[in-house]
C-alpha cells in the first residue's frame, strides 16, 4: 500500500517581526531528533531531561546573562516576543518565585519551535563534551504537562541549517523543572545557536536560568570557553589528513589527497584536506586504516566520519563503515559499523558503534559501499571509546486517562462535527453499523456503552489516501501506548480485495495504526496500536486505503491509552491456571506420628517453559555474554550461522565450523537449540549463485542443502524453520512450483524425523500487515497440510512495536484452532526509553506465558550492538543490565514457585507450582533430607511419595 501523508505544517520561513538571522526553514521534530544519523558535524551524546537537579559544574558558563539579571541582553526571541519578570514584580500565573530571582517569559508563540535563543559561536571546541542545565516552566498550559526542549541550530558552509537535539523535560503548570543534556561537536560549524523551545503554540515558555559548561575540562580558556576532553583520544591516526595520506591506504583501489575538487566546488568542511578512494572496481573498494592493538575487546567504540561521493553522474549512494577482523585461527569477520546515504552535493555525517568480543590478531577499519566507478570522499574519521548512554527516566503516566477515547464525536451524535475530509472527498453520516465495539477493544475496555449504529460515509474518493480525519495533537501523550479500533466497510464500486488502514500523520512520518483486508460488503474489525516517542508538532489520524472510486464506511473509531497493569493482573491469574499444577508430597517411614510437624521447604530451581535467545558466533567469544546466556536462557537459536547463505556462500565451499562451535557451547550448558533456517523464501536474501541456477540445478541444490544440513545435525536441533517467511516471499515457489514448499517439509522429516518442523513469519500478531494476518497464516498452514507437509509448529517471529495484549491474544486464539504448538521465535521490542521497552517486553512475555497454545519464547538477541533492531537490547554493550533486562529477570524469577510448611496429619504436604524442577528439603528431628522432583504438565494433581527412612523417592 502506498504510504501517503498530507502536509499540515506551517513553514518556518522568516517573518517580519523575526530577528533577521534567526529564521529557518520548516523542519520536523523527527528530523531534529535524528541528527545522529543526518546532521553533518554532530556527535551527540543525548541525556534526556528530567526534573532532578544536577551537581554544579566548576567550569565557566559560556551562556551570557544566564540568569536574566541584565534583562534579555544577549538573548533573542525566535519569531515571537519576550520580556523579563523580576521577583518583585510578582509571579507569572501560578509560578512560585524565589527572592531576588528573575526569569524570562517567551510569549506570542505560534509554533512549538519558537523560543529563546543565544549565539554561542566561537565558544565551543570540537570534540569536547558540554553539559546543558536549564530551569524552565510554562504558563497557559491547556493540558496536564508539556515538554520543553534544548536544541542547537548548526549552520555549515554551503549547506542548509541543521538541528541538534540536546535534551527535554516534562513541565507542569505552576512548577519549575530542570532540563539537562549533553552535546559534543567533532567539527565546528560557522554558526552555533542555542535555544529552548517545545511547548504547544499559545503556551508561554518561562526560563529562570541556563548554563552550558564543559562537563569534564582539562584545560579551560575563559576567554573562548573552550576545553579539551580527557580519556577520549581518537584511535585514528591523521584523521583529517593534515599529514597527507600517511597511515591511510586503498582497499583494492587507489587513494588521493585533495584540497578541492570539481573546479573548487568541493571543499573540505573542516581542515584543509580531504581524501578520495578512486578507481574503484568493486563495491567493497575504499579507504582504510589498520587499528590492530588499538581497540580492546568487550569495549564499545563509536565511529564518526564526514563523507560524500563523486563521479559517474550518481547523485546519491550508500557509504558504509566496516571493520575487518582476523582472528588468531585466521578466520575473517566483517562487522558493519555504520552507513549513510551520501550525496554528491554536501558532506554528510556517518555514525555507528561496534564491540569486539574476542581478541583479534588484526583489525582494519574501512569505508565502502557505492557502485564501482564512484569515488568515496572522506573529510574526517574519528574512532573513540563510546560514551555510555545516560539512563532513561520512567515516563509519568500518573494522570493518563486509560481507556478514554481521544477521538471527538466518535459516535457521530453531533453529525460530522470534529471530522474533516482529507482531500476532495465528501463526508456524510449514515445508519446501520454494528452497535457493539470490536472484540479486541472490548477485551481492553471491558464493559462499555454500545455504539450508536451511525457511521461516516466517504464518497467521491479520487485517491487511495482520501478519507475522514481528525487532528489529535494535544490529546496524545509521549511514550503512552494507544490501541486503535474501528468497524470498517467498503461500498459499491469495489472489485476484489480492498486494504483499509487507520493511519497517523506525525509531522513528516506515516505511522501505521492498523490494517485490514475487506473483500465483501460486511463490516470488518480493524485493530492496531501506536506510540509516539518524540515530541510532534502535529498529529492527524485518518482512515484510507480502498482504491479510488470505492466508498468507505467507518464506525466507532476508538483510540485510547492502554492500561497495561490491569491486563497484567489478569494474565497472572491465567498463567497460574495453565502453567501450574497441584502437587501432593506423601511421606512414609519415620514411625507413627513422627511425620506430623516435619518441616518441608520446596524451592523451584528451574521452570521448564522454554525461554531462549538468538546468539551469533562472535558472541561466544565473550565470557560475559556466555555467562548471562547460560544463567538466564534454556534454549538457543543461531542468528545467521545455520542459514544457507552462511554455510554455503559460494557453491561447494561449506562453512559449518561456526554452527559447530555454537552447538558445542549449547550442549556444554544443556541448552536446547532451534534450527533457523533451512531455506528462506525472500528473494533478497538468496545467494547470487543460487539465483543463477537453472530449474533442474536449483532442484538438485535444494535437495543437497536438505541432505547436507539435516544429515550432519540429525537429532541435534529440536526444531527447524523449514522455509522462512513464505507469506512474504516466493523465490523457490516461483522457480520450482507450488509443490516445492510441501516437498521441503516432507524431505526434512524423512532426514530427521525427531525434529519438529515449523512455519515462521512476521507481523502475524500486531494487526499491521495484511499479508500475514492470522487468517492468512491459518490458510497457509492448511494448504501445506493438504499437500502432505508434516507441519509441526507455528512460528510467530514477534518483531513488534507498541504491543497491545488483547490484539496479540486475539491472534493467538485464532491460530490456536489449528491445534499446533505456537512459539514466539524472534521476539524483540524497541523503545528509546528502557522503562517503556521493559513494559513492551512484559506484555509479550506475559501474553505468551498465559496462553495455552504457546509452548515457548525465543528472544531475537539481548545484547546491545548484536541485535537486528536498535533500542531493543536488555544488556548494554559493555555488560550493564538495563531496565528492560531487569524486567526480564524479574519475570523469570516470578515464574519460579516456592513453598514451605509442615507435614499434616495425613502425612502429606501440598503445594501448587509451575512446571519444572524442584528441590525438596525435609527436616526431621533426626536428619535433613534433600531430594529433587520434576513437576510435569498435567491436569490432575501430581502425587510424589517420599520415604523418610530411605534415600530416594518411591
Name the β-bridge partners of 582.
Answer: 912
- Residue 218 cell numbers, joined: 582539562
Q: What is the edge-to-edge ordering of all strands in the sheet holding 552-561?
A: 426-431, 454-459, 552-561, 482-490, 524-530
Q: Who's near 652: CB < 8 A, 6+ residues apart? A: none
Nearest by Cα to 443 from 557, 565, 567 = 567
Burial class (CB in 10 A: 0-12, 13-18, 19+), 786: exposed
Three-class SS state of 711: helix
Cβ–Cβ under 8 Å, residues 526 and 484: yes
Nearest C-alpha neighbor of 404 from the set 434, 467, 448: 448
Number of alpha carbons in the 13 Å side-chain half-sphere of residue 186: 29
Contact 603, 916 (CB under 8 A): no
Number of H helices, E strands in the chain: 15, 48
State the pairing for strand pair 426-431/482-490.
unpaired
Task: Say which residues have a Cβ less than 8 Å from residue 591's Cβ, sequence separation at least 6.
Answer: none
> How big is the chain, counted in residues?
954
CA torsion through residues 301, 322, 233, 294, sign: positive
Spatial contact of 321 and 288, defined as CB atoms under 8 Å apart: no
Of 180, 725, 826, 883, which is the active-site residue?
A: 826
Question: Is 826 an active-site residue?
Answer: yes
| Distance from the first to the final alpha carbon of the chain | 65
User: Which residues does 313 contact at the CB level (< 8 Å), separation at least 6?
Assistant: none
CA distance 609 to 629: 16
Contact between 41 and 154 (Cβ < 8 Å): yes
Phi, psi (rounded to 5 degrees) for 247: 75, -5
CB 821 within 8 A of CB 794: yes
Backbone angles phi, psi at 719, to 5 degrees: -130, 155
C-alpha to C-alpha distance for 516 and 553, rounded to whole angstroms: 13
**Rounded Cα distance, 769 and 792, in Å:** 24
CA–CA separation, 120 vs 60, rounded Å?
Answer: 14
Q: Rounded to an integer, what distance in angstroms lies between the CA atom of residue 19 and that of residue 119? A: 12
- 823 Cα distance to chain centroid: 21
Torsion of CA 591, 596, 601, 607, to 10 degrees: 90
Residue found by looking up cell 550432519 in the block: 712
CA dist., res. 150 & res. 48, Å (int): 10
Distance CA 790, CA 618 (A): 34
Which three cell numbers mark 739?
509443490
Give 875-880 contacts, CB < 8 A, sequence gap 24+. 875/628, 876/388, 876/389, 877/300, 877/353, 877/355, 877/386, 878/298, 878/299, 878/300, 878/355, 878/388, 879/298, 879/624, 880/388
Find out whether 148 and 169 touch, Cβ atoms under 8 Å: yes
Q: Which of 907, 747, 905, 759 is nearest to 823 (CA)?
A: 759
What is residue 702's three-state secondary structure? helix
Catalytic residues: 826
Amino acid at each position: 500500500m502506498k504510504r501517503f501523508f498530507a502536509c499540515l505544517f506551517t513553514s518556518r520561513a522568516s517573518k517580519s517581526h523575526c530577528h533577521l538571522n534567526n529564521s529557518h526553514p520548516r523542519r520536523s521534530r523527527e528530523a531534529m531528533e535524528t541528527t545522529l544519523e543526518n546532521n553533518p558535524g554532530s556527535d551527540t551524546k543525548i541525556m534526556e531531561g528530567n526534573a532532578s537537579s544536577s551537581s554544579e559544574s566548576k567550569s565557566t558558563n559560556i551562556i551570557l546573562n544566564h540568569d536574566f539579571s541584565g534583562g534579555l541582553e544577549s538573548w533573542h526571541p525566535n519569531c515571537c516576543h519576550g520580556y523579563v519578570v523580576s521577583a518583585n514584580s510578582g509571579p507569572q500565573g501560578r509560578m512560585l518565585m524565589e527572592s531576588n530571582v528573575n526569569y524570562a517569559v517567551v510569549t506570542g508563540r505560534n509554533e512549538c519551535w519558537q523560543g529563546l535563543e543565544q549565539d554561542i559561536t566561537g565558544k565551543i571546541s570540537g570534540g569536547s563534551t558540554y553539559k546543558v542545565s536549564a530551569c524552565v516552566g510554562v504558563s497557559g498550559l491547556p493540558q496536564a504537562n508539556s515538554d520543553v526542549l534544548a536544541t542547537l541550530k548548526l549552520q555549515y558552509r554551503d549547506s542548509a541549517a541543521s538541528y541538534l537535539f540536546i535534551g527535554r523535560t516534562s513541565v507542569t503548570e505552576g512548577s519549575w523543572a530542570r532540563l539537562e543534556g549533553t552535546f559534543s561537536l567533532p567539527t565546528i560549524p560557522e554558526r552555533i545557536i542555542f535555544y529552548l523551545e517545545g511547548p504547544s503554540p499559545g503556551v508561554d515558555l518561562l526560563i529562570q536560568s541556563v548554563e552550558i559548561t564543559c562537563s569534564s575540562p582539562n584545560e579551560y580558556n575563559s576567554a573562548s570557553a573552550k576545553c579539551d576532553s580527557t580519556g577520549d583520544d581518537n584511535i585514528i591516526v591523521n584523521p583529517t589528513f593534515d599529514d597527507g595520506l600517511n597511515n591511510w591506504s586503498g582497499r583494492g583501489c587507489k587513494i588521493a589527497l585533495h584540497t578541492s575538487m570539481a573546479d573548487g566546488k568541493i571543499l573540505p568542511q573542516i581542515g584543509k584536506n580531504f581524501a578520495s578512494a578512486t578507481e574503484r572496481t568493486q563495491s567493497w573498494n575504499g579507504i582504510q586504516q589498520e587499528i590492530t592493538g588499538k581497540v580492546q575487546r568487550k569495549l564499545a567504540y563509536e565511529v564518526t566520519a564526514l563523507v560524500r561521493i563523486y563521479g559517474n553522474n550518481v547523485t546519491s549512494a550508500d557509504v558504509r563503515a566496516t571493520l575487518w577482523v582476523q582472528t588468531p585461527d585466521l578466520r575473517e569477520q566483517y562487522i558493519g559499523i555504520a552507513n549513510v546515504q551520501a550525496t554528491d552535493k554536501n558532506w554528510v555525517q556517518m555514525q555507528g558503534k561496534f564491540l569486539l568480543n574476542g581478541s583479534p590478531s588484526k583489525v582494519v577499519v574501512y569505508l565502502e559501499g557505492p557502485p564501482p566507478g564512484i569515488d568515496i570522499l572522506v573529510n574526517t574519521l574519528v574512532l573513540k571509546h563510546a560514551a555510555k548512554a545516560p539512563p532513561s527516566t520512567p515516563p509519568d503516566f500518573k494522570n493518563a486517562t486509560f481507556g478514554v477515547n481521544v477521538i471527538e464525536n466518535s459516535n457521530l451524535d453531533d453529525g460530522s462535527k470534529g471530522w474533516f475530509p482529507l482531500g476532495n472527498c465528501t463526508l456524510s453520516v449514515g445508519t446501520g453499523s454494528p452497535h457493539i465495539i470490536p472484540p479486541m477493544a472490548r477485551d481492553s475496555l471491558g464493559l462499555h456503552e454500545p455504539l450508536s449504529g451511525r457511521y461516516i460515509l466517504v464518497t467521491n474518493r479520487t485517491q487511495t489516501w482520501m478519507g475522514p480525519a481528525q487532528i489529535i495533537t494535544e490529546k496524545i501523550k509521549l511514550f503512552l501506548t494507544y490501541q486503535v479500533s474501528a468497524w470498517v466497510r467498503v461500498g459499491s464500486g469495489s472489485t476484489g480485495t480492498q486494504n483499509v488502514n487507520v493511519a497517523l500523520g506525525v509531522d513528516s512520518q506515516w505511522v501505521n495504526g492498523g490494517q485490514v483486508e475487506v473483500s465483501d460488503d460486511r463490516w470488518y474489525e480493524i485493530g492496531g496500536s501506536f506510540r509516539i516517542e518524540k515530541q510532534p508538532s502535529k498529529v492527524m489520524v485518518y482512515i484510507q486505503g480502498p482504491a479510488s472510486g470505492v466508498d468507505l464506511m467507518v464506525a466507532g473509531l476508538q483510540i485510547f491509552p492502554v492500561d497495561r497493569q490491569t491486563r497484567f493482573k489478569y494474565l497472572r491469574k491465567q498463567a497460574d491456571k495453565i502453567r501450574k499444577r497441584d502437587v501432593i508430597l506423601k511421606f512414609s517411614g519415620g514411625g507413627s506420628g513422627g511425620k506430623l510437624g516435619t518441616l518441608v521447604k520446596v524451592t523451584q530451581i528451574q521452570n521448564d517453559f522454554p525461554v531462549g535467545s538468538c546468539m551469533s558466533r562472535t558472541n561466544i567469544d565473550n565470557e560475559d555474554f556466555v555467562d548471562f546466556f547460560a544463567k538466564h536462557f534454556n534454549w538457543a537459536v543461531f542468528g545467521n550461522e545455520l542459514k544457507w547463505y552462511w554455510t554455503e556462500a559460494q557453491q561447494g565451499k561449506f562453512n559449518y565450523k561456526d554452527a559447530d562451535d555454537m552447538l558445542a557451547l549449547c550442549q556444554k550448558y544443556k541448552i536446547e537449540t532451534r534450527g533457523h533456517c533451512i531455506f528462506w523464501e525472500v528473494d533478497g536474501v538468496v545467494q547470487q549463485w543460487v539465483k543463477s541456477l537453472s530449474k533442474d540445478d536449483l532442484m538438485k541444490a535444494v535437495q543437497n542443502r536438505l541432505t547436507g544440513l539435516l544429515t550432519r545435525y540429525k537429532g541435534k536441533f529440536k526444531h527447524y524453520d523449514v522455509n522462512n517467511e513464505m507469506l512474504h516471499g516466493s523465490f523457490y515457489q516461483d522457480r520450482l512450483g507450488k509443490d516445492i514448499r510441501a516437498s521441503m517439509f516432507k524431505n526434512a522429516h524423512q532426514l530427521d524425523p525427531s525434529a519438529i518442523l515449523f512455519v515462521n513469519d512476521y507481523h502475524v500478531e500486531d494487526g499491521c500487515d495484511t499479508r500475514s494476518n492470522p487468517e492468512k497464516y491459518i490458510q497457509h498452514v492448511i494448504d501445506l497440510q493438504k499437500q502432505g507437509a508434516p507441519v509441526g509448529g507455528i512460528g510467530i517471529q514477534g518483531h513488534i512495536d507498541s504491543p497491545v495484549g488483547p490484539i496479540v491474544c486475539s491472534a493467538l486464539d485464532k491460530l490456536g484452532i489449528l491445534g499446533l504448538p505456537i512459539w514466539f521465535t524472534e521476539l524483540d521490542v524497541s523503545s528509546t526509553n528502557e522503562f517503556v521497552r521493559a513494559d513492551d517486553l512484559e506484555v509479550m512475555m506475559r501474553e505468551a506465558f498465559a496462553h495455552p497454545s504457546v509452548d515457548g519464547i525465543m528472544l531475537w538477541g539481548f545484547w546491545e550492538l548484536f541485535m537486528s533492531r536498535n533500542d531493543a537490547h536488555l544488556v548494554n554493550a559493555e555488560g550493564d543490565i538495563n531496565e528492560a533486562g531487569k524486567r526480564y529477570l524479574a519475570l523469570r524469577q516470578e515464574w519460579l514457585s516456592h513453598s514451605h510448611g509442615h507435614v499434616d496429619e495425613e502425612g502429606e504436604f501440598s503445594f501448587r507450582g509451575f512446571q519444572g524442577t524442584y528441590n525438596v528439603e525435609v527436616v526431621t528431628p533426626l536428619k535433613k533430607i534433600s531430594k529433587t522432583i520434576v513437576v510435569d504438565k498435567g491436569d490432575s494433581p501430581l502425587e510424589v511419595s517420599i520415604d523418610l527412612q530411605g534415600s530416594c523417592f518411591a
